[in-house]
Structure 1
Amino acid sequence: MKTITQILLAALVLTGTSSFAQTDKATTAKIVPEKNFTFVATTAMPMANNDINNILMKMNNQGGAGTINLTGSNYDLRITPDSVVAWLPFYGRAFTATMDPNESGTKFTSKKFTYTSVKGKKGGWVVTINPKDVKDGQRLTLNVTESGYASLFVINNNRQPISFNGYIEEPKAKK
């Protein structure tokens, strides 16, 4: 009975750790320079301030104060050679209020942007994206590992910076 429990526990751990679909080294090395991938956000980390930490502690946030679990919520950043589409939440202090609740978060489509990809010394890439046709002066910095894990840092002129952890994947084929 003890052996069955151990086998089931091992299977559960392996299933849980493989549920995020990172890319392999060859795929990552291909899609990052080609500007053709999707960053899928799994956690958000607003800049630490007492107000946000107090609210998260009251919400019994399992990620701990300062980290918000986004798994299963479909927040992503899609990058193609001709566009950048962001659909990400925002938690933190905004310096100017938006009048339209649908414009909250980091949500935009940009057709005019700069994309810089620099290979790191120890592997991975640092990708910088500057949309030119988006209000609020966004700047996105994406640190990608060879295995596809990534962290995204979003700077906005009218809000506190926020960072996200997640992974990159190849774009899904349209059916």
Structure 2
Amino acid sequence: MKASKILTTGIVCLFLAVSVTRAQSPRHFRDSLIARAVKQLIDSRQFIFFVQSVMAPGGQSVPMAGENYTFRIRTDTVLLNLPYVGRSHQAVTDYNQVGFNFKAGNIDYKIKERKRGGWDVTIPVHNSTQVSLIVLNVLKNGSATLHLTPRNKQPISYQGNIAEKE
């Protein structure tokens, strides 16, 4: 009888220890792993931002289907393939060029950590006729907001996620 009480008490203690460990660590552990992976992507300067929606200058959000629209960082080069929704300050002569589709090299890439978590990546673009400034606000979970300041159009924002380069 004494052995069965000890065995029962041991099993209960083991069950409680496993339950408490499972209740506390998986989410926190997973979140910290994701945050570290996102930070590594930002520091590597080698990632892709996939657009999920476009925030028009008037405040209306337009969802984007699929993975067709991207912003890519490759060390010191940016590649943009993004739609544009808004007003232009110059007449459109080629409707295939309504969005942003270009490559700019020799960029200045600055990372600033946010107080509440996440990072701001600022990229002034000096050698493009389309965009003068790119700001990417990245959260610890990999979701991000991309803000573009075009040279001849109203500023525009994109919501999406960052991922490893292809």
Instruction: Please give the range of the TM-score, normalised by the shorter of the 2 chains.
Output: 0.7 to 0.9
1:128 aligns with 2:138: no
1:48 alignment partner, one of 47, 58, 61: 58
SS in 2 for 1:32: helix
The 5-angstrom pairing of residues 1-175 of structure 1 reads 24-48=34-58, 66-172=60-166
Identity %: 31
SS in 2 for 1:114: coil
Question: How much has 1:80 moved relative to structure 2?
Answer: 1.0
How many pairs were matched up?
Answer: 134
5+ residue gaps, structure 2, are 1-32
Q: Report the TM-score when normalising by structure 1.
A: 0.72
Q: CA RMSD in A?
A: 1.6
Q: Which runs of 4+ in 1 moved over 4 A?
A: none
C-alpha distance in structure 2 between counterparts of 1:98 and 1:163, whole Å: 21
Q: Report the TM-score when normalising by structure 2.
A: 0.75
**Richer in helix (by share):** 2
Q: 1:170 to 1:83 in 2, by over 3 A?
A: same
C-alpha distance in structure 1 between counterparts of 2:56 and 2:67, whole Å: 17
Structure having the higher Rg: 2
Question: How much has 1:124 moved relative to structure 2?
Answer: 0.6
SS in 1 for 2:36: helix
5+ residue gaps, structure 1, are 1-22, 50-65
